[in-house]
Amino acid sequence: MPTSLLCNLADIANPGARGFELETGNGIASLFIVRHEEKVFAYQNRCPHTGIGLEWQPDQFLDMENNFIQCATHGALFTLEKGYCVRGPCVGQSLVSVPLSVSAAGDIQVTDTKNLQEVMS
């Protein structure tokens, strides 16, 4: 299964997040990576409530305290580790996780693009 190199771990603030657009073979998918302490998590950039992107500004996916992923449209809060909504109109729903790997050199790659949804037109 082919992988898609996104960036190096050093390219993401800790804590922080960074958005990406990835060619999937069927179109462009929008996703983001969250870095918190020694862990990284990746999610599709789609709010489960409305299907739109989450960020306030480019790469601004986290709340002011960097404790939650926050939707810019309606303020929903999602856990960093699981993408589970704990506040807002989509409570109980989750962001769609994107499988990734981090090499010993810190290179971050998406390991499976087959289930990524393309950006809405």
Helix and strand numbers, DSSP H then E, in the chain:
0, 9
pLDDT by residue for the chain (121 residues), tens only, comes to 445 889 999 999 999 999 999 887 778 889 999 999 889 999 999 999 888 999 979 999 999 999 999 999 989 999 999 999 999 999 999 999 999 999 999 999 998 877 777 765 4
Is-contact 3 104, C-beta < 8 A? no
- What is residue 4's predicted lDDT score, i.e. its pLDDT? 82
Residue 119's identity, in one-letter code, is V
Q: Determine, yes or no, domain membership for 121.
A: no
CATH of the domain at 60: 2.102.10.10
Q: Determine, yes or no, domain membership for 74.
A: yes
- What is residue 105's predicted lDDT score, i.e. its pLDDT? 95
Is-contact 95 32, C-beta < 8 A? no
- What is residue 59's predicted lDDT score, i.e. its pLDDT? 95
- What is residue 3's predicted lDDT score, i.e. its pLDDT? 58
Residue 58's identity, in one-letter code, is P
Tell me how many domains the chain contains: 1
Report d(CA 83, CA 98) in Å as an integer. Answer: 11
- What is residue 95's predicted lDDT score, i.e. its pLDDT? 96
Q: Determine, yes or no, domain membership for 35.
A: yes
Q: Determine, yes or no, domain membership for 22.
A: yes
Q: Determine, yes or no, domain membership for 83.
A: yes
User: Which residues span the domain enclosing 27?
Assistant: 4-110
- What is residue 17's predicted lDDT score, i.e. its pLDDT? 97
